[in-house]
Chains A and B, each alone.
Chain A
Amino acid sequence: MSTPLERRLALQQDRRVRYERMVEIRTLENKVQDLFDEGLVHGTTHLCLGQEAVAVGVAAAARTTDQVTCTYRGHGVALALGLTPVQLLGEILGREAGSIGGIGGSMHLCDPEIGLMPTFAIVGAGIPVAAGAALTAQVRGTDDAAIAVFGDGSTNIGAFHEALNLAAIWKLPVVFVCENNQYGEYSRIDLTTPVDDIACRAESYDIPSAIVDGQDPDAVAEAVSGALDQARGGAGPTLLELKTYRYAGHSRADTAPYRPEGEFERWYEKDPIVNFGRRLVDEGVLGDNGVEEVEAAVDARIDAAVELVLASAPAPVAAMFANVLAP
């Protein structure tokens, strides 16, 4: 079994691994839904089905010493950064095997070794925190950077605007990655946001921005890499808007009946996994049966992870008393 760090390095070096990780994210998310339907998941989950290219593109571009903040829809980013399926499923199912021992649940993942800061269950909260991680790099004079991954809904909360403003005036090495999945909770973005493109919000902070195809992991990786280079070079922050689509509803109870007819089908034509798989087969990175081989290998890995986690111990009661304060 690979460690989180090994999983991350493999993804950075090999586009085949990036494809495999996208399949892993989707397979795992579907498995989470199954486990939920079987009544095995306590609480709630927010699935990132359809947004796999964002997670993998960001993880491919970031160094392991860069700090990443992400949202409660964070299973994909966590897996892409390197968290193992066992660590993730263990957390979702409240087991000792979870990344923080089953204390956090689906919305609270963390692994400092791969730059995954504690994930944020409050909309927008991770954006200024990422600016702060960038401040550490600036004060200490390292060339690390930070990445804030957040949804389109976050761009209407003060934390987004305050963080962009602060990062702009201090030229902090941070990249703001908005994964615009078209919905903030149950509401379509145009009902809550007066602009068509989130990217334009960078203008009022005098920072560069770009709109990126969030369904293409190569495009995401390239855009994030470019912005990180700028940040490390002292040019300050960038806002990237990654256009993507949330296949699932907001959370467990939401079947997304508000979705306009035909919208899902239109977006599915741009499915990140189908299209990236095709591209890799065309390029010869994957063999003719490569897609099926990856799917079979991932299925087996996820099934084994589920089995291991279901057989593992729930978080012990004493764990709730640990780590309230640092010694």
Chain B
Amino acid sequence: MPRMRMNQAISAAIADEMRSDPDVIVLGEDVAVAEGPFKTSEGLLEEFGPLRVRDTPISEMGFLGAAVGAAATGLRPVVEIMFVEFLGVALDQLSTEGAKFHYLSGGLVKVPLTVRASVGAGLGFGTQHSQTLESWVVGTPGLKLAVASGPANAYGLMRAAIRDENPVVVLEPRRLYARREEVTVGEEGIIALGRARPVVAGDDATVVALGSTVGAATEAATAASWSADVIDLQSLQPWDREMVYESVARTGRLVTVEENPLSGGWGADIVAAVAADLFGELKAPPLRITSPDVPVPFGKELEERYMPSSAYVGEQVTELLDTGRVPPPWWQREEITT
């Protein structure tokens, strides 16, 4: 098993799909000659040439729209949106056009499109380049959404996304690009969309994390006096109810760890589903650990507070277990806001 950084794993996944299918093309700003601002398309131009690997103008509505049209007519475009915020100017093409073509063609037009975007805080990119924005994608039937949490699942989810017959958004936490781990490559490395990954096993709680928060949740569970199942959700649309339900039915406690504002975060859907379907199994109210309802701040210390840390996850879960109640988030404890 090769050891690689997450950005290398992404390049490798795309390259493997391009080798096996001549219809796979790559579009995005600076993805060809520069091999991607985060080096997520390393070697692609050299191996596959300028017909299939293209630098685009800074023009997301144009090139994402073109990718929708190319996908609808037979290609499998992989589009890079450099920072997920840039999807805002192109969201019509993804959510209102591409996501609807299969439905609005009576199943005759497929849109096998992969949209990759870097997300998240931690690198000091400031308010307009640090959000996670899963909420822009979930809740749109016709789209799938996967979120990488490291090199191995970045590789596996990317290959599954490119093979999928639907528009799939793959979000890549930017601060994990340089993280290294061993990656299972080849067919065995492919990870089915919609399947979560058990990371740590335990009995006191089920901690559901996604993308950038998988690390904090895992560290917290490993260091704590309590033990928990830590589940890396990996896919958010659809999400793996089976694994989450099986775990919560056993532990009786659900915790979600989210790098996004409290309001409208993905954890609310998981909590609502579990609360409704497993009400009788719960020993405590579900706990959502999130960022506050603020834009991502720039100052280093502030940005670090924005992201749920392993220490914070540990404290919150400990208090839930001790009291049986949901503890207030840090910004209420410290009486900064109500």
Contacts and interface: CB of A to CB of B under 8 A. Distances in A.
Contact of B97 (A120, A136, A161): A120
Contacts of B106: 99-101, 103, 110, 322-323
Contacts of A264: none
A191 interface: no
A158 B72 contact: no
B70 A110 contact: no
A159 interface: yes
Interface residues on B, range: 35 or more
B271 to A, nearest CB: 24
B288 interface: no
A132 B73 contact: yes
A162 B67 CA distance: 13
A162 B104 contact: no
Contact of B73 (A108, A122, A136, A323): A136
B142 A125 contact: no
B54 A112 contact: no
A128 B75 contact: no
Interface in A295-327: 322-327
Contacts of A146: 69
A140 B73 CA distance: 11
A162 B59 contact: yes
A71 to B, nearest CB: 13
A294 interface: no
Nearest to B65: A128
Contacts of B63: 128, 162, 166
Given A101-B106, A162-B59, A117 B65 contact: no
Contacts of B67: 132
A166 B96 contact: no
Nearest to B105: A110
A162 B61 contact: yes
A104 B109 CA distance: 14
A138 B141 CA distance: 31
A155 interface: no
Interface in A120-149: 120, 122, 125, 127-140, 146
Contacts of A138: 51
B66 interface: yes
A324 B102 contact: yes
A158 B89 contact: yes
Interface residues on A, range: 35 or more
B324 to A, nearest CB: 40
A169 interface: yes
Contact of A110 (B25, B77, B108): B108
Nearest to A105: B104
Given A110-B109, A112-B109, A103 B69 contact: no
Contacts of B109: 110, 112, 117-118
Given A67-B73, A132-B69, A166-B66, A327 B105 contact: no
Contact of A170 (B54, B69, B97, B144): B54
A100 B104 contact: yes
B313 to A, nearest CB: 34
Interface in A77-125: 99-101, 103-104, 108, 110, 112, 117-118, 120, 122, 125
Interface in B63-111: 63-75, 77, 89, 92-93, 96-97, 100-111
A61 interface: no
Interface string A152-168: 00000011011101100
Contacts of B102: 323-326
Contact of B105 (A118, A132, A135, A163): A118
B129 interface: no
A125 B93 CA distance: 7
Interface in B314-331: none
Nearest to A109: B104
Contacts of A136: 69-70, 73-75
Contact of A135 (B69, B141, B165): B69
Contacts of B74: 136, 140
A212 to B, nearest CB: 24
A216 B141 CA distance: 43
Interface string A27-59: 000000000000000000000000000000000
> Interface centre among A122, A125, A170, A323, by most B CB within 10 Å?
A323
B69 A130 contact: yes
B52 interface: yes
Contacts of A120: 97
B65 A131 contact: yes
Contacts of B111: 326
Nearest to B55: A169
A132 B70 contact: yes
Interface string A256-284: 00000000000000000000000000000
Q: Which 4 A-B pairs have the closest CB atoms?
A: A132-B69, A128-B65, A162-B62, A129-B69
11 contacts: A100-B105, A122-B97, A125-B65, A129-B65, A129-B69, A131-B69, A159-B61, A159-B65, A170-B54, A326-B107, A327-B165
Given A125-B65, A159-B61, A325-B102, 8 more contacts: A129-B65, A131-B62, A132-B68, A140-B23, A158-B62, A326-B107, A326-B110, A327-B165
